[in-house]
Structure formats: C-alpha cells, structure tokens
Structure 1
Amino acid sequence: MFLFIFLSIGICDDVHIWISSIEDDKIELSIKSNQPIFGFD
C-alpha cells in the first residue's frame, strides 16, 4: 500500500499505473512509463 501511495504522489503525466490482476488476495500492479522510474529502471 505504501508503494502505491508513493507512486501516486510522485506520478507524472508519462506514467500510467493500472491493476492487471486480482487473485488469491494478491493485487498485481502494472506500470508503464516513457521515462525511467527510480528503482524500476
């Protein structure tokens, strides 16, 4: 939850976050960005 909040606060127009799947009480988030994301590049 902290990661999602952090990304939501630091998000820019070139970054898109969406939930790709929900199963077995796990949520998988997908991130698409045209710019390098710190910690994910």
Structure 2
Amino acid sequence: EDNAIPFTDVTVEAISQSLRSQEYQSRGFEQLKHIVDDKIYY
C-alpha cells in the first residue's frame, strides 16, 4: 500500500526523544517571548 507520506518510519516518540536530546521540550513547543516585544510600536 502506497500512501505518499514521507514520514512513515518516524514515530512521535522518536521525534520527542530527538527534541529532548537537543534540550527542547519533548512535544516541540517553545514560546518565543521576544518576538512580540519587538513588534509593538507605541
């Protein structure tokens, strides 16, 4: 069966482990607080 999805061998756990090893949060969420402050002009 062909489904045209390029990530068939990748699991969520494998990605989570890779992110944790690079000191990111395991589900890939990082809050960028500085961006909002840079875009506000008074």
Identify the structure with bigger relative contact order (alpha carbons < 8 Å, sequence gap 6+).
1
TM-score normalised according to structure 2 size:
0.23
- Structure 1 or 2, whichever has the larger Rg, is 2
Greater strand share, structure number: 1
TM-score normalised according to structure 1 size:
0.23
Greater helix share, structure number: 2
